[in-house]
A and B are shown apart, each in its own frame.
Chain A
Amino acid sequence: MRKSFTAVIERNAVLSGAFATEAYEAAWAGEARWFIRILALEGEGAALRVQPEISPDGLFWCEEGTKVPPMTAEGLYSFPLRDFGHWLRLSGEITGTENGGNASVRVIIYLALKS
């Protein structure tokens, strides 16, 4: 039986400006899938842009290379990763403006892993 685990990396979190999620160890997993559920977007032209990142040590990061289209509406988004090692996170930013300030999104971010 293959092992699996779903980690909730962000839960009901409000993101604004540039961000990076906490590191998550995935050495045991052969495949991963990010799920991003946008509960709300606030602001003119609000868009969530993310790129998956990988790290050998959880301290220093580079882009994994998968291109993810900007997310501009509430809903559930997803993309898979393979051949990563061994740490995963998302970095990104929320573009757009709200009352002259930064736009924001409220999200739940899942990392679904399978051996």
Chain B
Amino acid sequence: MTTANELFLALIRANPKLSRYNPLRRILFFDDFNEGMNGWCELLGNHDGNLDNVREAVADLRPPQLSNCTFFDIGTHGAMDGNYSLKLATRAKANHMSQAIKRITQVKRGLVQFETFFTYKAEQTFVRRRGNGAKEWDGNFDPSETDFGDFTFSNDVCEGESGIRYHCALRYVNTDDKGNLVQKWMYKTSVQPTTKMVRAGLAKDLGDYHVIDPSDWAEIPGGYQPLCYNEVPTKINWHYLRWTFDTGKRRNVELQVNNLVMDLRNIPVPVYEHEYHGIRNLLNFCVDVRTHTNVRNFLYLDSVLVSVEE
């Protein structure tokens, strides 16, 4: 006899758009960017109608784009499926970050799984910038790879009016601020400064959106993972990512990127010490990309699937 679970899996596997994913039992949303933005939008800091009151750190995170991945040398690359992907682009300014957000609320606390196929690139440049001693293009290695800084997948969870609020944030650090390849997955060790905290003098914006101090990051055990930049800035290769967190236990569970599965259950998640009004059962998903140099960095998502246990 076919069980309900077997039937569910058979239906997923029979759908070419879904069969590349591994959803939990209930699909909350499947965002195919051939069909538009699907609710992903620019994050902007809180204000009271007066835009002068937006903190500089969250004033210019750039609008997301629908990209067909066109490059100057080969023309249109296209997405993994169809024509379009969601694209985030930084400015050509060191430490600039672009972030997009999708906002929903929780029906029930428990397992949440975010899956996507992503790729990343630094913008094509035509002059050398690193100076003497920097590794040159040798027909295989391209210095463009060291122009790419980092990207982060994060959430924003609040359990209720007087409940607990926290962000999980998982960052792929491609290079350090000197352009050396790091290629490690990291997790943050402090809360994200909010407008409420900055206005109350509880935190300052010190150059990293996600944390109190830019050094508040730690390596995920076993998180060294060179990805497929593919040599030059005009070739893209899609990577599978699956991130599970548990809003019942207020923790990350697992991060899978291609063949690497990282156990996150023992990684601490910083929780705010104060309350937030008006965000009962908040569940937001965020993606961002940050450049370490004066070269634009891009992050592309072919599609996104978010599912929950029940």
Residue positions of A touching B, CB distance < 8 A: 3, 5, 7-9, 11-12, 22-25, 27-28, 56-60, 86, 108
The 4 closest A-B pairs by CB, nearest first: A7-B63, A57-B72, A12-B51, A25-B65
- Chain B residue contacts of A24, Cβ below 8 A: 63, 65
Name the distance in Å between A30's Cβ and chain B's nearest Cβ.
13
The one of B44, B59, B66, B91 in contact with A22, judged by C-beta atoms closer than 8 angstroms, is: B91
- Chain A residue contacts of B62, Cβ below 8 A: 22
Q: How far is the CA of A12 from the CA of B124 in the complex (A)?
A: 29
Chain A at the B interface: SS class:
loop
Given A12-B52, A12-B54, A28-B84, A57–B59 Cβ distance below 8 Å? Answer: no
Q: List 8 A-B contacts (CB under 8 A).
A: A3-B36, A5-B66, A7-B63, A22-B91, A28-B68, A56-B70, A56-B72, A86-B68
- Chain B residue contacts of A57, Cβ below 8 A: 70-72
Name the distance in Å between A65's Cβ and chain B's nearest Cβ.
21
Is B184 in the interface zone, CB < 8 Å from A?
no
Decide if B68 touches A5 in the complex (CB within 8 Å). Answer: no
Name the distance in Å between B20's Cβ and chain A's nearest Cβ.
23
Residue positions of B touching A, CB distance < 8 A: 35-37, 42, 44, 51-52, 54, 59-60, 62-63, 65-68, 70-72, 76, 83-84, 87, 89, 91, 123-124
The one of A7, A9, A12, A86 in contact with B70, judged by C-beta atoms closer than 8 angstroms, is: A86
- Chain A residue contacts of B123, Cβ below 8 A: 58-59
Chain B at the A interface: SS class:
loop
Closest to B35 in A: A3
- Chain A residue contacts of B67, Cβ below 8 A: 25, 27
Given A3-B36, A22-B91, A25-B65, A11–B70 Cβ distance below 8 Å? Answer: no
Decide if A8 touches B65 in the complex (CB within 8 Å). Answer: no
- Chain B residue contacts of A7, Cβ below 8 A: 42, 63, 65
- Chain A residue contacts of B70, Cβ below 8 A: 25, 27, 56-58, 86
Q: How far is the CA of A60 from the CA of B73 in the complex (A)?
A: 12
Q: How far is the CA of A56 from the CA of B68 in the complex (A)?
A: 12
Q: How far is the CA of A57 from the CA of B70 in the complex (A)?
A: 6
Q: How far is the CA of A68 from the CA of B67 in the complex (A)?
A: 28
Decide if A11 touches B51 in the complex (CB within 8 Å). Answer: yes
Q: How far is the CA of A57 from the CA of B59 in the complex (A)?
A: 27
Q: How far is the CA of A86 from the CA of B70 in the complex (A)?
A: 9
Name the distance in Å between B87's Cβ and chain A's nearest Cβ.
7
Decide if B42 touches A27 in the complex (CB within 8 Å). Answer: no
Decide if A22 touches B71 in the complex (CB within 8 Å). Answer: no
Decide if A12 touches B59 in the complex (CB within 8 Å). Answer: yes
Given A8-B42, A12-B52, A12-B54, A22–B89 Cβ distance below 8 Å? Answer: yes
- Chain B residue contacts of A58, Cβ below 8 A: 70, 123
Decide if A11 touches B60 in the complex (CB within 8 Å). Answer: yes
Decide if A11 touches B71 in the complex (CB within 8 Å). Answer: no
- Chain B residue contacts of A3, Cβ below 8 A: 35-36
Name the distance in Å between B248's Cβ and chain A's nearest Cβ.
36
Decide if A27 touches B68 in the complex (CB within 8 Å). Answer: yes
Q: How far is the CA of A8 from the CA of B42 in the complex (A)?
A: 9
- Chain A residue contacts of B36, Cβ below 8 A: 3, 5
